A and B are shown apart, each in its own frame.
Chain A
Amino acid sequence: MDYKTVGLKAGIEIHQQLDSRTKLFCRCPTSLREFEEHTDEYFRFLRATESEMGEIDEAAREEMKNERRFCYYTYDTTCLVEDDEEPPQPLNPEALTISLTIAKMLGMSPVGQIHTMRKLVIDGSNTSGFQRTALVALDGAIPVDVLPGGGGIETICLEEEAAQRVDDHTFSLDRLGIPLVEITTSPCMKTPEEVQEVAGYLGMVLRSTGKVKRGLGTIRQDINISISGGARVEIKGVQELDLIAEVVRREVRRQENLLSIRDELIRRGAGVREEPVDVTHVFSATSSGILKKADRILALVLPFFGGLVGREIQPGRRLGSELSDYAKKCGLGGIFHTDELPGYGVTPEEVSELRTATGASDRDCVIIVAGPEKKVHCAVLQVIKRARLAFEGIPEETRRMLEGGSTSYMRPLPGAARMYPETDVEPVYSRGIWGAIQVPELITKRIGRLKDLGLDPGVAEHIGYSEQYPLFEKALNQGVPPALAARTLTSTVKELRREGVAVDHISDDELIGALAAVGDGRAAKEAVPEILRLIAGGTPLADALEQCAGRVSVQDLGDIVRAVVRERQQFVIERGMASLGPLMGVVMAEVRGSVDGKVVSDCLKDEIRRILQET
């Protein structure tokens, strides 16, 4: 597809959790918990409030359609602030410094007096009904080597993370209040690949601070997309970087298909019949479970929509899915429409009776809404609303990513009406922090430097992105050879952990001490795992070095090698120099790795050669 022709414009919002010691507005730790560990639960309702301008946000109004009772899990690591039972504490200065550091890395202008706002979110994910957020800096740049022609970063906000959803109406409070930064780019990307590239770049910048959380769910991308003649659509919560381009491709396809459906509707002279018809009686003896259970079944005729409601607009998604999403806001499971009937237990006879009862022709599409009285009426209005929007093309919406990269409707795009000052939090100032911030080295630059040190490119990349990098650099500064430090940190420690060795008991200084001993010849590099094993078991570093390093002298080694070779004389004669490999294993086990492998190998070779000459 030629994205230039379709006029693709995309921007991203990156949400990245910060690895601060405590949460943004309370002093609880930022640690995630298992749901089973929750200590208590309670229930709340949320209702939309007016903004300071006296308006109710459109997105909030939509969430209110179906009053929901939310359940919250508490932990011994959460407090009354997460419960919305205590006023927030002052904005966490550590998190502010991290967010300003990121702003500085992106070349942004800091806000002098930073005000915390309440962003209305009443889907239950915030106990208060709003997310606290503060704009900390504006206008940064995306370099031209990342995005051809360059691009802009519009804003960076410091926000509190929402609670994690356990199920539909239940949320876990461990995550609520963890600081996160929201970085918003301008709509400067013009192809799906560019979007992915920029997301990757920003992720790298964030990681370069060494102060962001890592792992699944700690970084999320929202993507804003529009095409010519389309409308801005925001897709929330794309967690996998590799899927970003596909999400963009599918959204472009959806918007194009919706535009062509619009054109077709106009060409056909289609319309929306606003009066629903009660067709409960038509399905009195139906074998469709959903219809049988329903108190009320209403039918809505969409003249000349026939065939278009069932047309695929995105893999697995039809115009019907969009109508259904709107109806779901009233608490219904979905809708039926005649483009997919007969089916789902509805017989051809029932369909024709339905058409008769509603006076619908074959060219019309009939929507069936079934369920409890109150919800059905709400849902019909929603279907009418969405069907009307089909004539405009693409509604401005917030959408949720589905597995594979298609999307479903969440709510209308929120506006400025959802912002309200957080009167419980005092403004803070960037002056005094900004000047003192040292801009960290970008990981990409760091990797280049590591390659220059002679590290293998794969290893350089691995250690460059690794959480262990600060330790690696500390080791280098204390004279540890780069390859040894990289290998130990990226693989040896991991292997030991897998073995069950308590590597967390080894302090950074002990680890570096052990590696430094190898660096200056006091220990063999083969002895590193054994030294670390001993330290993890509680042996002081010096003792561990002595036990491993001092034990086998060159004289001792000669004795050991001689003994090993003599004991296996027959084997050596039979295999010749090929016996070296197997015997290496035996000798290394004897010296427990305390002698460099190369020394052992040389010594063994000499001894084998001697035996072979003797015979």
Chain B
Amino acid sequence: MNHTYDAGDRLEAQIGTSVRQATYITGRDGMAVVKLDNGYNLGIPYDSCRFLERPGQSVARKPIVTQRDELPVLSIVSTGGTIASRIDYRTGAVTSQFDAADILRAIPGLSSIGRFRTKQLYTILSENMTPAIWQELARAVHEEIVSGARGVIVTHGTDTMAYSAAALSFMLDTPVPVIFVGSQRSADRPSSDNAINALCAAKTAVSELGEVAVVMHTTTSDDSCSIHRATRVRKMHTSKRDAFTSIGVPPIGTVKYPTLDVTLAAHARKRRETEPMVLPDLEPGCGLLSFVPGMDPAVLDAFSGYRGLVIAGTGLGHVSTAWIPALRTLAKDGCMLAMTSQCLNGRVCDRVYDTGRDLISAGVIEAENMLPETALVKMMWVLGNEDDPDKAAGMMKEDLKGEIEGRSVHGL
């Protein structure tokens, strides 16, 4: 009878000298996990279980949701993430619940902001994202924009959300808000930030914004969300609600909670400033390498054949002088090299010290104050769309989507 139970089967469970009726949930580390009638799960050896019966499937009653015709259409494109997920009773895994009705049931407040349509592109963990998926995502979002969505919300795992959001910034010209949102604390907990983030994202999606942005908690409190420019945002904490931070620029707006009042900053791009367009080509042969003291220049051999390499250097943008010959070789072989800083804050300047000047002469581009990850996806996009190396290098140093700030503003 071992291991042949189905989730939901009624069993008699022997625990020491005690016998209880229970429901089979799953197997775990060779033991049967059963749920007692008081709701507690516990694991017991399979030979302590005795089958009683297999009840008929009971379907949970779901309340019906209605959408209001007079509200603007918002499109939700899902890549995974946990905006509305719960544990699967059968498998014990967290599953994503995803159709408009599921989301509106999970976050009822959304139904007073917009009329929702949904597109489930992927159900993956964000660490499994690839440039190919970014491209598909860009096309899907573009389709939603041209088919009349007043705004697009992309639900996304938070780990690589900033990469995807930055990638879409370069691939898309958008006249409407394209809002990336996720949750730092899982949606299956009453304290999850998913609902407030989603409500603030939806409200931003109907606002006057006209660019790609990330909307997440401003602080640990459920008081407001910040609207971050996709090319300037970075996940700066592993677990906190306010992990997402705009680096080197103020956020482009805020949404107060629970009033959901949206305030956009002067430097935010506004709705209808541009026509919708998608240029989804990317050059996937690009890398990002963080230099550490003593790192063997032979590491660079791994990037031979790459079309581009972003280096996160030390301080103002340095690597060991021992790297100069290897970098020169890479550049000669047609690999675009761009220097960013591990400091994240501040501008790269390779004209202060000798090493820097050597780097420039070896063909390394100073990537200004671009974030290393943004520089990487930008390089992929630039090399995917521009064949001329000089023009491509010029584009790397030019501000295309707010990724480079010309002025380093006091106080940030």
Residues of A within 8 A of B (CB): 42-50, 52-55, 60, 67, 69, 80, 83-87, 108-115, 117-120, 122, 127-130, 133-135, 137-139, 155, 157, 415-421, 423, 427
Count: A-B pairs, CB below 8 Å: 142
Q: Is the CB of B42 within 8 A of A80?
A: no
Complex CA–CA separation, A283 to B219 (angstroms):
46
Task: Using A49-B187, A111-B43, A133-B40 as known contacts, list a sample of 10 further A-B pairs with CB atoms less than 8 Å apart, ordered by residue number in A.
Answer: A46-B191, A52-B87, A53-B89, A60-B190, A113-B29, A115-B33, A115-B41, A416-B38, A423-B94, A423-B186
Q: Is the CB of A85 within 8 A of B18?
A: no
Complex CA–CA separation, A135 to B33 (angstroms):
13
Q: List residues 20-68 of chain B with CB under 8 A from any CB of chain A.
A: 20, 28-29, 31, 33, 35-45, 60, 62
**Complex interface: stretch among B220-228, B245-253, B289-297, B355-363:** B220-228
Answer whether A130 and B190 are a contact pair too, CB < 8 Å, given A49-B86, A113-B29.
Answer: yes
Answer whether A80 and B28 are a contact pair too, CB < 8 Å, given A85-B220, A118-B189, A130-B190.
Answer: no
CB < 8 Å neighbour of B18 from A109, A127, A133: A109
Q: Is the CB of B40 within 8 A of A157?
A: yes
Residue of chain A at shortest CB distance from B242: A85
Complex CA–CA separation, A118 to B191 (angstroms):
12
Complex CA–CA separation, A427 to B28 (angstroms):
9
Complex CA–CA separation, A119 to B40 (angstroms):
9
Answer whether A47 and B40 are a contact pair too, CB < 8 Å, given A109-B17, A138-B16.
Answer: no
Q: Is the CB of A49 within 8 A of B190?
A: yes
Q: Is the CB of A112 within 8 A of B18?
A: no
Q: Given the complex, which residues of B lie within 8 Å of A110, measured CB to CB? A: 16
CB < 8 Å neighbour of A128 from B28, B45, B191: B191
Q: Is the CB of B189 within 8 A of A54?
A: no
Complex CA–CA separation, A127 to B36 (angstroms):
26
Complex CA–CA separation, A486 to B394 (angstroms):
87
Q: B401 at the A/B interface (Cβ < 8 Å)? A: no
Q: List residues 53-107 of chain B with CB under 8 A from any CB of chain A.
A: 60, 62, 86-89, 92, 94
Answer whether A54 and B43 are a contact pair too, CB < 8 Å, given A49-B189, A129-B189.
Answer: no
The contact sample of 15 A-B pairs, CB cut-off 8 A, is A50-B86, A53-B89, A55-B60, A80-B239, A84-B191, A114-B42, A114-B43, A117-B41, A128-B189, A129-B190, A138-B15, A138-B16, A139-B18, A419-B38, A420-B87
Most chain A beta-carbon neighbours within 10 Å: one of B31, B87, B220:
B220
Q: Smallest CB–CB gap between A411 and chain B, Å?
A: 15
Most chain A beta-carbon neighbours within 10 Å: one of B18, B62, B94:
B18
Q: B258 at the A/B interface (Cβ < 8 Å)? A: yes
Q: B382 at the A/B interface (Cβ < 8 Å)? A: no
Q: Smallest CB–CB gap between A327 and chain B, Å?
A: 23
Interface residues on B, range: 35 or more
Complex CA–CA separation, A54 to B44 (angstroms):
25
Q: Smallest CB–CB gap between B88 and chain A, Å?
A: 8
Q: Given the complex, which residues of A lie within 8 Å of B35, measured CB to CB? A: 416, 419
Q: B195 at the A/B interface (Cβ < 8 Å)? A: yes
CB < 8 Å neighbour of B87 from A114, A130, A421: A421
Q: Given the complex, which residues of A lie within 8 Å of B370, measured CB to CB? A: none
CB < 8 Å neighbour of B40 from A86, A109, A117: A117
Q: Is the CB of B44 within 8 A of A112?
A: yes
Complex CA–CA separation, A135 to B43 (angstroms):
10
CB < 8 Å neighbour of A115 from B38, B42, B240: B42
Residues 252-268 of chain B, each 1 if its beta carbon lies under 8 Å from chain A, else 0? 00000010000000000
Q: Smallest CB–CB gap between B106 and chain A, Å?
A: 8
Complex CA–CA separation, A108 to B239 (angstroms):
39
Answer whether A45 and B222 are a contact pair too, CB < 8 Å, given A50-B86, A80-B240.
Answer: yes
CB < 8 Å neighbour of A48 from B36, B89, B190, B223: B190
Answer whether A112 and B39 are a contact pair too, CB < 8 Å, given A53-B89, A423-B94.
Answer: no
Complex CA–CA separation, A67 to B199 (angstroms):
15
CB < 8 Å neighbour of B221 from A43, A49, A113, A118: A43
Q: Given the complex, which residues of A lie within 8 Å of B187, measured CB to CB? A: 49
Q: Is the CB of B16 within 8 A of A47?
A: no
Q: Given the complex, which residues of B lie within 8 Å of A60, measured CB to CB? A: 190
Q: Is the CB of A135 within 8 A of B40?
A: yes
Residues of B within 8 A of A (CB): 15-18, 20, 28-29, 31, 33, 35-45, 60, 62, 86-89, 92, 94, 185-192, 195-196, 219-223, 238-241, 258
Most chain A beta-carbon neighbours within 10 Å: one of B36, B42, B60, B191:
B191
Residue of chain A at shortest CB distance from B237: A85
Question: What 10 A-B pairs are tightest by C-beta distance, nearest first?
Answer: A109-B16, A129-B190, A113-B43, A419-B39, A54-B60, A416-B39, A135-B40, A139-B18, A42-B221, A115-B41
Residue of chain B at shortest CB distance from A418: B39
CB < 8 Å neighbour of B191 from A52, A87, A108, A127: A127
Q: Given the complex, which residues of B lie within 8 Å of A420, measured CB to CB? A: 87, 188
Q: Is the CB of B45 within 8 A of A112?
A: yes
Q: Is the CB of B223 within 8 A of A43?
A: yes
Complex CA–CA separation, A85 to B192 (angstroms):
10
Q: Is the CB of B189 within 8 A of A130?
A: yes
Q: Smallest CB–CB gap between B223 and chain A, Å?
A: 6
Complex CA–CA separation, A123 to B240 (angstroms):
22
Complex CA–CA separation, A44 to B219 (angstroms):
11
Q: Given the complex, which residues of B lie within 8 Å of A43, measured CB to CB? A: 221-223
Most chain A beta-carbon neighbours within 10 Å: one of B87, B189, B219:
B189
CB < 8 Å neighbour of A419 from B40, B45, B86: B40
Complex CA–CA separation, A42 to B219 (angstroms):
9
Residue of chain B at shortest CB distance from A71: B221
Residue of chain B at shortest CB distance from A85: B240
Residue of chain B at shortest CB distance from A136: B42
Q: Given the complex, which residues of B lie within 8 Å of A415, measured CB to CB? A: 39
Residue of chain A at shortest CB distance from B90: A52
Q: Given the complex, which residues of A lie within 8 Å of B94, measured CB to CB? A: 423
Complex CA–CA separation, A419 to B22 (angstroms):
14
Q: Smallest CB–CB gap between B147 and chain A, Å?
A: 32
Most chain B beta-carbon neighbours within 10 Å: one of A43, A122, A133:
A43
Q: Given the complex, which residues of A lie within 8 Å of B186, measured CB to CB? A: 423
Residue of chain B at shortest CB distance from A118: B189
Complex CA–CA separation, A114 to B18 (angstroms):
15
Complex CA–CA separation, A67 to B109 (angstroms):
12
CB < 8 Å neighbour of A85 from B28, B42, B60, B239: B239
Q: Given the complex, which residues of B lie within 8 Å of A122, measured CB to CB? A: 190
Residue of chain B at shortest CB distance from A114: B42
Complex CA–CA separation, A122 to B195 (angstroms):
15
Complex CA–CA separation, A112 to B13 (angstroms):
12
CB < 8 Å neighbour of A109 from B15, B29, B88, B192: B15
Complex CA–CA separation, A46 to B192 (angstroms):
8
Q: Smallest CB–CB gap between B362 and chain A, Å?
A: 43
Q: Smallest CB–CB gap between A78 and chain B, Å?
A: 12
Residue of chain B at shortest CB distance from A122: B190
Q: Given the complex, which residues of A lie within 8 Å of B192, measured CB to CB? A: 49
Q: Is the CB of B43 within 8 A of A115?
A: yes
Q: Given the complex, which residues of A lie within 8 Å of B223, measured CB to CB? A: 43
Complex CA–CA separation, A416 to B41 (angstroms):
11
Q: Given the complex, which residues of B lie within 8 Å of A138, measured CB to CB? A: 15-16, 18, 20
Residue of chain B at shortest CB distance from A416: B39
Answer whether A83 and B37 are a contact pair too, CB < 8 Å, given A54-B60, A54-B89.
Answer: no
Q: Given the complex, which residues of A lie within 8 Å of B16, measured CB to CB? A: 108-110, 137-139
Q: Is the CB of A45 within 8 A of B41?
A: no
